[in-house]
Structure 1
């Protein structure tokens, strides 16, 4: 299992808006959202977790960094291929 992660600089007061927009996009693309928690900085961070209904890579998005000044966006992939790529026959 591999996890690809990217970080986005974003002030904590914008994390909820980003989470709501990303949730809508993921649901439209066939993902089932299993967790969504709004940011209550500094005690709680925004968390969004989803997986495609048809199976596929897990996506986790959450407030990150010491002062929650970033969003961490991670994709789990069950193999060495990037998410959504397919293995070619040799």
Structure 2
């Protein structure tokens, strides 16, 4: 969870004032710089993985439209699978 998600969750579930959570978060960041630097890198990586997975899902969808079931993709020497061939 990023800071916004934590603030929103604590506000909704525990009825903790967002300004208080933000103040505590800032103090924690100040006192634990190394942890939060690694934490922010992990959040960026998590986001990149989510975007990559969405792109893979879109690619599968597009490939299924281009090559309906019962038709296999024929690999090209360059590694792409742009042609369909009945099996």
Q: Which TM bucket (shorter chain)?
A: under 0.3
**Structure in which a larger fraction of residues adopt helix:** 2
Higher-RCO chain (CA-CA 8 Å, sequence separation at least 6): 1
TM superposition score normalised by structure 2: 0.21
TM superposition score normalised by structure 1: 0.21
* Max Rg structure: 2
